[in-house]
Structure 1
Amino acid sequence: MKEESNLQRKRIDPEIFLTFDDGPNEPYTSQILDILKNFGAKASFFVCGRCVEYSPDVVQRILNEGHSIGNHSYSHSMVLTFMGFLKREIEKTDNIIQKITGVRTNLFRSPWGMTTPWIKSYLKKNKYKIVSWDINSYDWAGVSARTIEDGILKKIKSGSVVLLHDGKEAKFHRNRSQTVLALPPLLENLISRGFICKNISL
């Protein structure tokens, strides 16, 4: 009974998952990695194949520093996404990631979170893990760093998956400075409240 009571009193730190879409996109992805490293936090990066080809060293750094990589299509095409024609984009991006890093990811997030039944069937058949989110930071909408931070902190709970962006729709050199600015105070607050920022396992 005493042993059971001690186990019940043992503190369990709540886990949360920060995710970054549409990159890598320099210099912002590297800045985000620097901040995560400083705070000892882990995250998951859902990368676009086109951007991986452009910044292969950054993708390798993501993995080297203990973060996870997910497939976010090759071109982030709205037409292909909404028509459900992502199979070739998924396979192409997987091959690019594997060629550069030696790792084959089974994590997938569709652009805009839009996954048609046909693509869902394909992903299930090929043993992909579809990763959604429950907290949208709205950093993609150009809001301020303070708005990004406050919006996340109002909704955060154990097990939350937070949607952030280090890039924009597989384009290069898109401004994500507000996301970068929001990250240090956000992490400081989360860690002070006992949250552990983990990556999503492959």
Structure 2
Amino acid sequence: MNRIILSIFILGVLNIAKAQNIIDQEGALIRSDTLQKNIYLCFTGHDYYEGFDHVLGVLQNKKIKASFFLTGDFVRNHTDLVKRIISQGHYVGAHSDKHLLYCDWSKKDSLLHTPNVIKEDMLNNLKILQDLGANVSYFMPPYEWCNTKVVQIAKELNQTTVNYSLGTRSNADYTTPDMSNYISSEAVLESIYNYEKLKGMNGFHLLIHPGTNPLRKDKLYLHLDELIHKLISKGYQFKKF
């Protein structure tokens, strides 16, 4: 009888341990610490940067640390900005060097570049970040799109591949009105609040683009203060990787 009870207890512990992290079918970490009421704000940077000052100001005022995933090109073009992000204590991770699309949109298991090219692209990104003093251990794939082969290459470079959590439309904040999949910031915010109400956001990786095409006048990052305030009122804290 005692053995049965012990077995049930061990299984319960194992199930709890598994519940803490969610890994997608490609092997990327898409949700962390589901037993804790934490949210991980994730920002990416490559082409555009006009909203970074605003985002950093909000984070500083709220005394929140976040995670920034930046390409090598972004770092080279905005070195002083990246140094400021690091100096303010945020996590800064890799996002590829040239923002290459590593695998096919329609055939995800097919690489569009050789493993050596992808590895070199990652290495160049890691080097420029490390030269600035960033402690790089988490990698978000370019276009937030990868397969198991990309995850394995990143692992060989001691990088844990992370991606945004599914369920909200925050990843569509880059869209412009001329696109068929355009979604307004109001609709994005509504999707976030509705998801939180229905399912909760423990350990959620919430992706926001701090720079978007000038054709998009409706910038989600300008609602960051409101978003943080709302989620804090629901009892969430904000963590970085």
TM-score for the superposition, normalised by structure 1: 0.80
The change in CA–CA distance for 1:198 and 1:72 in structure 2 (over 3 A counts) is same
Instruction: Output one character per residue of 1:75-123: Cα deviation in whole Å (capped at 9) or x when no partner.
Output: 2123x44414421111111111122x22240111111222233322222
Match of 1:90 in 2: 122
Amino acid across the alignment from 2:209: H
The within-5 A match list for 1:85-124 is 85-99=117-131, 101-124=132-155
Match of 1:36 in 2: 59
**Partners of 1:145 and 1:181 within 8 A in 2:** no
1:63 shift after superposition: 1.5
**Partners of 2:54 and 2:222 within 8 A in 1:** no
The within-5 A match list for 1:52-71 is 52-71=75-94
Instruction: Mark the structure with the bigger radius of gyration.
Output: 2
Gaps of 5+ in 1: 1-11
Aligned counterparts of 1:24 and 1:45: Cα–Cα separation in 2:
14
- Which of 99, 102, 105 aligns to 1:76? It is 99
**Partners of 2:41 and 2:239 within 8 A in 1:** yes
Residue 211 (structure 2) pairs with residue 179 (structure 1): no
Q: Secondary structure at the match of 2:174?
A: helix
Match of 2:4 in 1: none
**Partners of 2:50 and 2:210 within 8 A in 1:** no
Q: Would you say how many aligned residue pairs link Structure 1 and Structure 2?
A: 184
Match of 1:144 in 2: 184
Instruction: Output one character per residue of 1:178-201: Cα deviation in whole Å (capped at 9) or x when no partner.
Output: 12222111011011111111111x
Match of 1:198 in 2: 239
Aligned counterparts of 1:174 and 1:119: Cα–Cα separation in 2:
32
Gaps of 5+ in 2: 1-34, 105-111, 177-182
The change in CA–CA distance for 1:120 and 1:191 in structure 2 (over 3 A counts) is same
Aligned counterparts of 2:54 and 2:120: Cα–Cα separation in 1:
31
Aligned counterparts of 2:36 and 2:239: Cα–Cα separation in 1:
11
Residue 192 (structure 2) pairs with residue 158 (structure 1): no
1:176 shift after superposition: 7.5
Aligned counterparts of 2:63 and 2:215: Cα–Cα separation in 1:
26
1:58 shift after superposition: 1.1
Q: Secondary structure at the match of 1:27?
A: coil
Instruction: Output one character per residue of 1:30-69: Cα deviation in whole Å (capped at 9) or x when no partner.
Output: 1111011111222111101101101111111112112101
1:167 shift after superposition: 3.1
The change in CA–CA distance for 1:88 and 1:131 in structure 2 (over 3 A counts) is same
**Partners of 1:49 and 1:96 within 8 A in 2:** yes
CA RMSD, aligned part only? 2.4
TM-score for the superposition, normalised by structure 2: 0.68
The change in CA–CA distance for 1:24 and 1:153 in structure 2 (over 3 A counts) is farther
